[in-house]
Amino acid sequence: MAERKKILLRLDPAVHDALARWAGDELRSTNAQIEFLLRQALADAGRMPGSAGRMRRPGRPRRGPAGNTRDEDGPPEGGGED
């Protein structure tokens, strides 16, 4: 998979707090919630690129063969950036 892009996003603190609570309710990180909402908006507008990879499902990553937790796109838990 291609390297994930990083961006700086400035939010009103109240918006960030509401987003973080919503993300927690859906077992997502704040970052994953933002990506989920952006993908949903792109799909609704008919602008989702066909080349976009899938998002990891919400919740805790599944355990890999060596007992390490892995998400579908990244390194073992605790070994990557968030």
pLDDT in tens, the chain (82 residues): 568 899 999 999 999 999 999 999 999 999 999 999 999 999 999 999 888 877 766 666 677 777 665 554 444 444 444 4
Residue 26 resides in a domain = yes
Note the pLDDT of residue 81. 45
- For residue 25, being part of any structural domain is answered with yes
Read off the pTM. Answer: 0.64
Whether 67 is covered by a domain: the verdict is no
Taking Cα atoms as reference points, which of 33, 41, 31, 24 lies closest to residue 9? Answer: 31
Question: Which residue range(s) make up the domain with 32?
Answer: 13-44
Please indicate, yes or no, if residue 3 is contained in any of the structural domains. Answer: no
Residue 64's pLDDT is: 72
Q: Is there a contact between 53 and 73 (Cβ–Cβ < 8 Å)?
A: yes
Task: Count up the domains in the chain and report the number.
Answer: 1
Any domain includes 31: yes
| Res 54: pLDDT | 78
